[in-house]
Structure 1
Amino acid sequence: MAADDPQEPKHQDHELIPDATAEIKGIAKEGMKHPSTKPVLTGAAVGAVAGALLPVVTWPVGLIAGAGFMLYKRIRP
């Protein structure tokens, strides 16, 4: 297949870090007005609760994991 074949699947992971950085900066600047703030905070809360309930994971680890997962889902739906 050719490199610019429209039928070839495109991988978007090569720009994950710059996209995440831009999204985090947008959340920091706009606060609750940014469309990603509420889902990321919800993910952080769910992760913290899960971390508090699970014996292996602590709540800060769960909080970071939940926020990171939701941020990833906002960047790469």
Structure 2
Amino acid sequence: MTEGKNPNNNGGDLIEDLKVEVVGMAKDGARHPSTKPVLTGLAIGAAAGWILPVVSLPLGALAGAGFMLYKRVRP
């Protein structure tokens, strides 16, 4: 999580931090420290979307992955 962070940023730009994290996950694949938690969040969100009648499977998966990605960038 801290590998791609800019030490001069001081937690300022959320979009830039998310971009760095997603690009790092795309380059490193399963070796990146954020990949497994984000995929776990995706699976939990998809399961919740499958169980809950109001939320669809893709929406639940997107929400779960987005939440875990946000928590990796902003703990």
Which TM-score applies when normalising by structure 2?
0.84
Question: Which residue of the partner structure matches residue 30 of structure 1?
Answer: 28
Which TM-score applies when normalising by structure 1?
0.82
User: In 1, distance between residues paired with 2:43 and 2:23?
Assistant: 20
Task: List structure 1 runs of 4+ shifted beyond 6 angstroms.
Answer: none
User: In 1, distance between residues paired with 2:73 and 2:47?
Assistant: 24
Shift of 1:57: 0.5
Larger Rg: 1
Shift of 1:52: 0.4
| Identical aligned residues as a percent | 62
User: In 1, distance between residues paired with 2:14 and 2:45?
Assistant: 22
Q: Which stretches in structure 2 are left out of the alignment for 5+ residues?
A: 1-9
Partner amino acid, structure 1, of 2:74: R
Residue 43 of structure 1 pairs with residue 20 of structure 2? no
